[in-house]
A = this chain, B = another copy of it.
Amino acid sequence: MLDKTTRINYLFDFYQALLTPKQRSYMEMYYLEDYSLGEISELSQVSRQAVYDNIKRTESMLDSYEKKLHLYEKFEQRTNLLEKIEQSLAEDKSSIELIRMINQLKELD
């Protein structure tokens, strides 16, 4: 479960600007502030089922945006490459290797 939650949190980070205020609010309460569906339902004065449906629909939207724009996937690839570059610098590797990785970074966009 943790992996899925981490993934949703990242997707929310990348795509929250494309959500409605209500979607953002439910997602924040559920995923960031760890409220239960029952608590969100009470606070928002809508049924538990409506909150659940909204959150599930929002998760699908986030997945669909990721399938189209791959922002999270590219972020992971970039982070990975940047860490390798830092390691190469720390180990004082040749700049040829660094330039190769910098070019890989450029091609990611």
A18 CB to closest chain B CB, in angstroms?
6
Q: Assuming the A-B contacts A79-B109, A89-B95, A95-B89, are A69 and B17 also in contact, with contact meaning beta carbons closer than 8 angstroms in the complex?
A: yes
If over half of A's interface residues share one DSSP class (helix, strand or loop), that class is named, otherwise mixed; here it is helix
Interface segment, one of A23-31, A37-45, A48-56, A98-106 = A98-106
Contacts of A78 in B (CB 8 A): 105, 109
The answer to whether A89 touches B98, judged by C-beta atoms less than 8 angstroms apart, is yes
Taking CB atoms and an 8 Å cut-off, the chain A residues in 74-109 that contact chain B are 75, 78-79, 82, 85-86, 89, 92, 95, 98-99, 102, 105-106, 109
**A68 interface contact, C-beta 8 A:** yes
How many chain A residues touch B (Cβ–Cβ < 8 Å)? 22
Residues of A whose CB lies within 8 Å of any CB of B are: 15, 17-18, 65, 68-69, 71, 75, 78-79, 82, 85-86, 89, 92, 95, 98-99, 102, 105-106, 109
A106 to chain B minimum Cβ distance, whole angstroms, is 6
Could you say which of B15, B82, B109 contacts A102, with CB atoms under 8 Å apart?
B82
